[in-house]
A and B are shown apart, each in its own frame.
Chain A
Amino acid sequence: NAGVTQTPKFQVLKTGQSMTLQCAQDMNHEYMSWYRQDPGMGLRLIHYSVGAGITDQGEVPNGYNVSRSTTEDFPLRLLSAAPSQTSVYFCASSYHGSSPLHFGNGTRLTVT
């Protein structure tokens, strides 16, 4: 199993550009989520999904959209990037509640 795969690893955007951060898992996990991590801070939940077709907002959802059309994929969309979205983004997945989260290696995004 590849686990949780995030692409790209690094990305630089200009303010106002859009992009999609990709997250895929091959473990048939129902639960997937996106976090952002800013320097010196912990992980903050952006959006999560408990199964295909179901998504919900986390702590900091503004400026981000998600969809879950398949069990394997959970892309995170930035419709109009802002410098405040400069961060490291982590995707995570797990089986049903009360199972350990598996994290990807992160996408480092810089918005200028």
Chain B
Amino acid sequence: DAKTTQPPSMDCAEGRAANLPCNHSTISGNEYVYWYRQIHSQGPQYIIHGLKNNETNEMASLIITEDRKSSTLILPHATLRDTAVYYCIVRVAVGSNFGNEKLTFGTGTRLTIIP
């Protein structure tokens, strides 16, 4: 499995865009990049994922570099409710339905939105 590296903490002003980086320099061609967040002690919540193209949904945008060695999660207009720990992971899918499912999370980035 590819490992990911994230900064331990970041601050962002309320209403501004929050840009969270993730390095995955050993990512393989069939590995997806996933982002999750964990608010307080709740179970992590899925945000977005992508393979090589940039992706956008109602929560965030995901920008993946052309060499796929890093990505950035963008929360376009951060609110206080976006204060959370954000995890970037990679997940491989090989074979028919099952891949290497040993999904490991790092310690993530603690994002604090400042009023």
Which residues of A does B touch, CB under 8 Å? 4, 30-31, 33, 35, 40-45, 48, 50-51, 56, 58-59, 88, 90, 92, 96-98, 100-106, 108
Contact = CB atoms under 8 A, between A and B. Distances in A.
Kindly name the residue among B36, B98, B103, B104 whose own CB sees the greatest number of chain A CB atoms within 10 A.
B103
Nearest to A48: B101
- Interface secondary structure of B, over-half rule: loop
B93 interface: yes
A43 to B, nearest CB: 4
Given A42-B106, A48-B102, A56-B101, 18 more contacts: A30-B97, A33-B101, A33-B103, A42-B107, A44-B105, A45-B102, A50-B101, A56-B102, A59-B102, A97-B91, A97-B94, A97-B97, A97-B101, A98-B49, A101-B46, A101-B103, A104-B43, A106-B43
A109 B53 CA distance: 41
| Majority secondary structure, A binding face | strand
B44 A96 contact: no
Contacts of A43: 44, 87, 105
B22 to A, nearest CB: 13
Contact of A59 (B32, B92, B104): B104
